[in-house]
Structures are given as C-alpha cells and as structure tokens.
C-alpha cells in the first residue's frame, strides 16, 4: 500500500487529494481544501476591521485604520498603517496555511507528495506568498524524508484531450450556467475527472482547487501506476 497526497498550491485555497493505492488499484480516495484564516486588523489594536473614511489635519479625505479615540491622522501615518496591516495579513495567511497543511500531512503520513509546479502570478506579492508556501512544504517533506514530485501545468493538461473535454462540457451547459462558472476550463476538467469510474466515490461537489489536485494525482496514477 502506498499513500499519496496530491496538492494544488495556492495562497487562497489549497486543493488536496489523498489516495491509498495497492496493486495498481485505488483503494480509497478523498479530497479536502485548505483556506487561510481570515485576518482581523483588530489584532493590531485597531478599532475597525476595514479602513474608515476620515479627514487628515489638512482636510484631505483618506481611508485609514484607527486606534481607540482617534478621529484624524496624517496621510503618512495612514500609509505606514496600511503597510503594517498588509505585512501582518501575509504572515497570518502563510502561518495559517502551513499549520493546516502540516496537520493534514501528519495525520495522513504520505509516502509520496505530488504537487503542481509553482506558476508566476500577475501580482509579485502573490507569487512570493506561493513561494513561501511551497518552501514550507519542501522543508516539511525533507524533514520527514518524503519524496516530492512536481508536474508542470501544461504537462498535466496536455495529458488529456482538453479541447474535446471543454467543447463537450460547454455543449451541455446553458449560457447562464456558463456565466456562473469562475473558470470554464477548470470546471470542464473537474466534470471529466468525476465522470471516470475510478473516482466515483468522490463527492461531486468538490471545488476547482480540489479537482486541480485530482488532475495532479490522475496524471501520476496513469503514468506511474497504470503506465498509460
């Protein structure tokens, strides 16, 4: 028996697929997702969760975080507080994700970790955060002597007939249904994977991050176990 966890790393929601494989068969498979704790600026002593519209001593309208009893602050002080909140929010987010991920890995105790290779985002901040999450994962795996295999997104999607899968998916949906979808391509991949007999026990309501991690697992399972 080999226990495998496949991950779709993200700074907003990590999709996880946990699978038990024996004699080339999937004995059990489940999916979960990890979302970071919502950060509250009140943890820094501010009285407001979001910035409040006020006027500076010079009469300039700004949106700022305030301490108890404050009614006005300077623009420079407002900017300092914005930076402080962003920094603390990032630290809280990373700490929350890492704590939850490590807890799941400890409970599952995988023999192998599969992960979609880090991709760059439009935002440098998001890319940096994702790099921190990936770094923490590699540190954990190294400390437990668990091998990690990474797969490029293009390789994963190129291993399935994505064009046909997406076309057939769109045919089955109304215009209104398609408008409600956050990502049609990801939704079509999820629909395709859940239609496979080997994943019939999975909840049909898994989110797109979970189905992304399922694609990672599916690629490994086909190539390494079924040799297809």
Indicate the number of domains in the chain: 2
- Residue 161 and residue 118 in one domain: yes
Residue 135 sits in a domain of what CATH number? 3.30.420.10
Structural domain boundaries enclosing 165: 2-36+94-225
- Residue 61 and residue 157 in one domain: no
Q: What's the confidence (pLDDT) of residue 22?
A: 95
Q: What's the confidence (pLDDT) of residue 84?
A: 94
Find, among 160, 144, 159, 153, the residue nearest to 112 by Cα. 144
- Residue 182 and residue 81 in one domain: no
Q: Write the pLDDT tens digit of every residue in 140-198.
A: 999 999 999 999 999 999 999 999 999 999 999 999 999 999 999 999 999 999 999 99
Confidence of residue 124 (pLDDT cuts 50, 70, 90): low
- Residue 103 and residue 30 in one domain: yes
Confidence of residue 126 (pLDDT cuts 50, 70, 90): low
Which of 58, 86, 114 represents a domain boundary (last residue)? Answer: 86
22: Cα separation from own chain's centroid? 28
Q: Write the pLDDT tens digit of every residue in 109-119.
A: 999 999 998 65
Query: How much is the average pLDDT of 76-86?
Result: 94
DSSP 162-225: HHHHHHHHHHTS-HHHHHT-S-HHHHHHHHHHHHSGGGTTS-TT--HHHHHHHHHHHHHIIIII
- Residue 26 and residue 118 in one domain: yes
- Residue 67 and residue 158 in one domain: no
- Residue 71 and residue 154 in one domain: no
- Residue 57 and residue 11 in one domain: no
- Residue 113 and residue 213 in one domain: yes
In this model, does residue 94 exceed pLDDT 90?
Answer: no
- Residue 48 and residue 102 in one domain: no
- Written as six digits, the tokens of 212 are 């992304």
- Residue 81 and residue 109 in one domain: no
- Residue 68 and residue 171 in one domain: no
């Amino acid at each position: 028996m080999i226990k495998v966890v496949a991950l779709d790393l993200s700074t907003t929601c990590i999709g996880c697929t946990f699978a038990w494989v024996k004699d080339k068969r999937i004995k059990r498979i489940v999916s979960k997702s990890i979302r970071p704790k919502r950060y509250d600026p009140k943890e820094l002593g501010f009285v407001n969760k979001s910035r409040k519209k006020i006027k500076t001593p010079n009469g300039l309208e700004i949106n700022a975080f305030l301490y108890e009893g404050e009614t006005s602050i300077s623009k420079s002080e407002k900017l300092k507080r914005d930076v402080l909140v962003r920094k603390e929010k990032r630290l809280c987010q990373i700490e929350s994700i890492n704590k939850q991920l490590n807890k799941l890995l400890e409970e599952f105790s995988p023999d192998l970790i599969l992960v979609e290779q880090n991709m760059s985002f439009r935002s440098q901040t998001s890319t940096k955060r994702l790099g921190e999450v990936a770094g923490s994962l590699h540190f954990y795996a190294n400390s437990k002597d668990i091998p990690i295999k990474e797969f490029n997104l293009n390789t994963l999607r190129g291993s399935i007939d994505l064009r046909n899968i997406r076309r057939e998916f769109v045919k089955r949906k109304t215009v209104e249904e398609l408008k409600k979808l956050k990502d049609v391509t990801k939704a079509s991949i999820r629909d395709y994977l859940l239609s496979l007999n080997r994943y019939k026990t999975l909840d049909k309501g898994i989110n797109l991050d979970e189905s992304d991690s399922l694609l990672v697992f599916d690629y490994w399972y086909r190539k390494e176990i079924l040799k297809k």
